[in-house]
Amino acid sequence: MSSKEIAGINLDPVTQWLTESIEGVEAPFEFSPIAGGHSNLTFAVIDGAGRKLVLRRPPLTAVLATAHDMVREHRVITAFGPTAVACPETLGLCTDEAVNDAPFYVMDFVDGVVLHDRDVTAATIPQDQRIQLSESVIDTLAALHTADPDEIGLGDLGRRSGYLERQLRRWQGMWDATKTRELPAMDRTHELLVQHLPEEKYNTVVHGDYRLGNMLVTPETGQVAAVLDWELCTLGDPLADLGYLLNNWVEPEEADQIVGATAFPTADGGFLGREAMIERYSAKTGFDVQNADYYRAFQFWRLGSIVEGVLSRYMKGALDNDVDLDSFRIQVNSLSEMALELAEGM
């Protein structure tokens, strides 16, 4: 597909905007999709001199192509630019929908590898770099959580308290509205999560989807080159990010116990274990992490509700892809069981 035909890019007006708004770039521009789908769309851009950029815009199926999400993403990434959090440099924001039918922003291209699964890890990350990469992942998360939201201009990004209560209400409501069967483990986990709701000691910027699959890493140095996909970013309890990361930090001996373990990049082995990750996070942040299992249980339970919602949409015909529905049920069953095991152990 040529740049003139690429979905999501109006070539002539976008070219004009780039040459007028981004210092030092040269036409013509070549566009190619990096990622797409129901989430925001990402395009690689190469200018006439070979310089690489990245353009982000809302999905083509967005009901409302408002400036909100793009302005918000651009604002967050820009705010973290001067901090120790690895982010691409933002170069420009366009809120004039006449240019590309929707707002978009442009950032510098960061070279690196996205570790989507165990196979990519095996092929790209040397064993002797995996401990260092583990440390970089935790150090980056700690830098994210210790950045003062007010000092970096994100103090009004979300509410300053009540994060877990809101999350529990939201996802229990989602479960009640979309569940396709009764699943006692989900109900019992919710009861325990409400019963043992921890005091919210910290309120920071949280990423919302912090995992290796949402960052660029450099295999040669074992470093996080850039954190990506800030769509779910808000103010909240930072330990929710930690719990989510730990759930995605699958250890090799768990590969036979966890459904879809090959999808987890750390399943190839050689990375820091969870306890070492927790200890390093605590040392870097000074946060009390004694109840880390609560947040792990919460994230397994939350993901179970999300996946069940997707299953419900498939069963109702809202999504027309031909999929194995049983695989969704098995995944939700597994998530609910892991959530309950952790919740009962609190």
Which of these three, 53, 84, 108, is where a domain ends? 108
Same domain assignment for residues 229 and 310: yes
Same domain assignment for residues 269 and 218: yes
Predicted confidence at residue 118, as pLDDT, reads 93
Burial class (CB in 10 A: 0-12, 13-18, 19+), 240: buried
Residue 8 has pLDDT above 50, yes or no: yes
| pLDDT confidence band for 64 (50 / 70 / 90) | low
Same domain assignment for residues 102 and 122: no
Tell me the residue length of the chain.
346
Q: DSSP secondary structure string, 255-319?
A: TTTSTTGGGSGGGGS-SPPHHHHHHHHHHHH----TTHHHHHHHHHHHHHHHHHHHHHHHHTTSS
Same domain assignment for residues 94 and 219: no
d(CA 234, CA 218): 27
Same domain assignment for residues 134 and 238: yes
Which of these three, 51, 79, 108, is where a domain ends? 108
Q: Total structural domains in the chain?
A: 2
| 127 contacts 224 by C-beta, under 8 angstroms | no
Same domain assignment for residues 74 and 216: no
Residue 36 has pLDDT above 70, yes or no: no
The two tokens of residue 19 are 């040459």
d(CA 214, CA 150): 25
The per-residue pLDDT for range 85-125, each reduced to its tens digit, is: 999 999 999 999 999 999 999 999 999 999 999 999 999 99
How many CB atoms are closer than 10 A to CB 304?
27
